[in-house]
Amino acid sequence: MDIDISKFDRCKVLVVGDLMIDKYLWGSVDRISPEAPVQIVSVEREEYALGGSGNVVNNLAALCAEVFVVGVIGTGNDGKLLLEKFKEIGVDTRGVIQEPERLTTRKTRIIAENQHVLRIDRETKKEISKKTFQAIARFTEQIMPEIDVVLISDYGKGLVTKSMLSELVDCAKKHKKVTIADPKGLDFTKYTGVSMITPNKKEAALAKGIEIVNESTLFQAGTEILESVDIDRLLITCGKDGMVLFEQNKKPYKINAVARQVYDVSGAGDTVLAVLGLTIASGMSFKEGVSIANTAAGIVVGKVGTAIVTKKELVDSLKPAPDEVSKKYKLLSELGDLISEMKKQSKKLVLTNGCFDLLHAGHIMFFSASKQLGDVLIVALDDDDSVKRLKGRGRPVISAKERVHIISALDVVDYVVVFSTGELERLIEIIKPDVLTKGSNYTSQEVYGHKLVEKFGGRVELIPVSEDISSTRIIDNIKKNSAAG
């Protein structure tokens, strides 16, 4: 499936919902506390991310939409941090109201060795004040003519009440805008008048009191929700089993999930809401939107923590049967986010670099040995100008573009990047490899960048190589045989 990314850039989306800060403490565990039978987590780093409806906003901003936010926060440090993060991604926060007595919701997740150990919530669920309600109503009435779609992200923290929804839906209908809500709670009649709601399978089952154990009970629950709630459409998300779209007077439309390794499902519903809303805003059908949202959800569950889907990830995933080059080849500018994600997954990264001109059996053995030292092997290729400087006239024999194609075809290689002379240190700073490999024709001290690798806690590993096999030797033999002929 192909999508017109240029339309995403022109979409204006209003997000109404419960804003949160997600705090992540990443660490390691190597002992049990002597004070109680609990793990001791040695914190190595901490991160803050937009959570709740803020994660919907973050996904939309990453896909280049123009976003307007409506929500309520406190006046403390967490509230200030939320506003700073919104400013960083360029969203309109005129609809964000600060209540002095309100606590900004913060969820703190402690993750050790890629395992979610504990979550600590700091929040309030009290309804917003009458003054705040009126301020929000005025803003939504003012902004509604400008926007393309309204997304409602309900986390049950006191903003998305029946009266708020009624006001919002009436305003949206007056201006002929689609409204899509990610619901909370057992009473879906709260969302009467909304164009579409997107509960997960568990929420749908609880709302109708039906145990969903197969497709039949899933269809029964979906049909009953659609009949009992005044909505046009219902999307039930089913995790690894995909999604089902229910529409009035139509058969349920089921789409299977793309098989992926699941690391973390937190925030997947936010991604579905954001991408679905954006596709509808750009003029696609609901079926097209559901298919694309399903793909986006498959991407985000493969990441650790509250995550977003980038435009490139989405486009690449929607392309039919991407070849190995498009999957493995990365620009230097693309490595940062990729490496960050692999670090979160506690992947052990192995980096090797070189010309790798005229690939031969020695290179294959070298790559195989390198991959055995970690989980992910990244091969950095000298660009054509660098090879020429290093090897002299007539080199490279094979261009960087062709070398990328050849090396990407190897199963042991996970990613390939091309770099120029002078960029190796920057490459090491981005990747911070656990292991840097070189052939045994070097010494550890001769390996360029070894000090930087060791500074970041990595090591240099020398792989035994045969002196009888080299690109230069093969090329010299070809020249001799050609001259002799």
In a domain, 429, yes or no: yes
Does residue 35 lie within any of the structural domains?
Answer: no
CB 355 within 8 A of CB 396: yes
The number of distinct structural domains making up the chain is: 2
The answer to whether residues 274 and 181 touch, using CB atoms and an 8 Å cutoff, is no
Domain that holds residue 57: 5-30+41-322
Identify whether 270 is a catalytic site residue: yes
Residues 313 and 443 in one domain: no
Q: Tell me if 455 is assigned to some domain.
A: yes
DSSP letter string, 310-365? -HHHHHHHHSSS--HHHHHB--GGGHHHHHHHHHHTTPPEEEEEE---S--HHHHH
Of the candidates 267, 298, 322, which is a domain's last residue?
322
Please report, in tens digits, the pLDDT of each residue of the chain (485 residues total): 455 556 888 899 999 999 999 999 989 898 999 999 999 999 988 999 999 999 999 999 999 999 999 999 999 999 999 999 999 999 999 999 999 989 999 999 998 877 888 999 999 899 999 999 999 999 999 999 999 999 999 999 999 999 999 999 999 999 999 999 999 998 999 999 999 999 999 999 999 999 999 999 999 999 999 999 999 999 999 887 889 999 988 999 998 876 455 444 556 889 899 999 999 999 999 998 998 888 888 887 766 555 778 777 787 777 655 555 667 899 888 888 889 888 887 889 999 998 888 788 888 889 999 999 999 999 999 999 988 888 888 788 889 999 999 999 888 999 999 998 789 999 999 999 999 999 887 777 778 888 999 999 999 999 887 655 665 666 666 656 655 55
For residue 267, which of 29, 68, 24 has the smallest C-alpha distance? 24
User: What pLDDT, on the 0 to 100 scale, is given for residue 334?
Assistant: 85
Asked if residue 145 and residue 75 are part of one domain, the reply reads yes
Which candidate in 154, 182, 270, 357 is catalytic? 270
Enter the tokens of residue 68: 């307007």
Single out the residue of 228, 157, 245 nearest to residue 188, CA to CA: 228
Q: Are residues 164 and 287 in the same domain?
A: yes
pTM: 0.72
Query: What is the spatial distance between Cα 158 and Cα 222, in angstroms, rounded to a whole number?
Result: 27
The CATH number given to whatever domain includes residue 381 is: 3.40.50.620
